[in-house]
Amino acid sequence: MTAFVEEQKERFGVEPICTALQVAPSTYYACKTRPPSARRRRDEALKPEILRVHKDNFGVYGARKLWRQLNREGVPVARCTVERLMKELQLAGVRRGKRRRTTIPDETVPRPADLVERKFRVTNPNELWVADITYVRTWSGLAYAAFVIDAYSRMFVGWSIATHLRAELALEALEMAIWYRDERLDGLSVVQPQAAALIDRGRPADRVRGRLLS
């Protein structure tokens, strides 16, 4: 708040800005004159140390290694503090391995319409299912997971895990959801974010099932 008032006070004045923000002007002036807190003073002392260690190690250290190195050097600091200050300093470590993308969209293909208009509040089970695909790192490699959630209960009604991203992954999750509920699904819509590109958005479940099986 103080930074915003500082930025705009020459144009609008302190009192009008504080009135618009429903903040007493005395609060702003108190913040300006109050001495830095112990935490702020500690942060300012730690930032040069974090920058130094990060630079000395070629900019590859993340929060965990930075935290350990600082404590080895006799600079006692909590890991959460290192993570917070690295974020403020816009520092990040280097991760091994290449970044995985679960979706590479084809810009030439029209996307299905959002038939629920991003409204996920429903009044009954099996009225709206939400599906997505993600990946999980394991000791033996990447595992891809597809899942289907009932928007009414936020319950997982179907899921599938595989080492590939073929259509069977999404199909098995949807088939499990249909088998698990084992009841009439008339009027059901299945929607998914862009990542779950193997399932049609906003289509009734029987049509989605038929499309995936075709």
- Residue 196 has what pLDDT? 43
- Residue 137 has what pLDDT? 81
CB 163 within 8 A of CB 144: yes
CB 192 within 8 A of CB 120: no
List of the chain residues with pLDDT < 70: 97-105, 112, 183-184, 186-187, 189-214
- Residue 192 has what pLDDT? 56
- Residue 99 has what pLDDT? 67
Please state whether beta strands 141-150 and 128-138 pair in parallel, antiparallel, or not at all (unpaired). Answer: antiparallel
List beta partners, residue 134: 145
Maximum Cα–Cα distance across the chain:
71
pTM for this predicted structure: 0.46
Tell me the C-alpha distance between 50 and 66, whole Å.
7
CB 188 within 8 A of CB 204: yes
Q: Residue 116's CB: how many other CB atoms inside 10 A?
A: 18
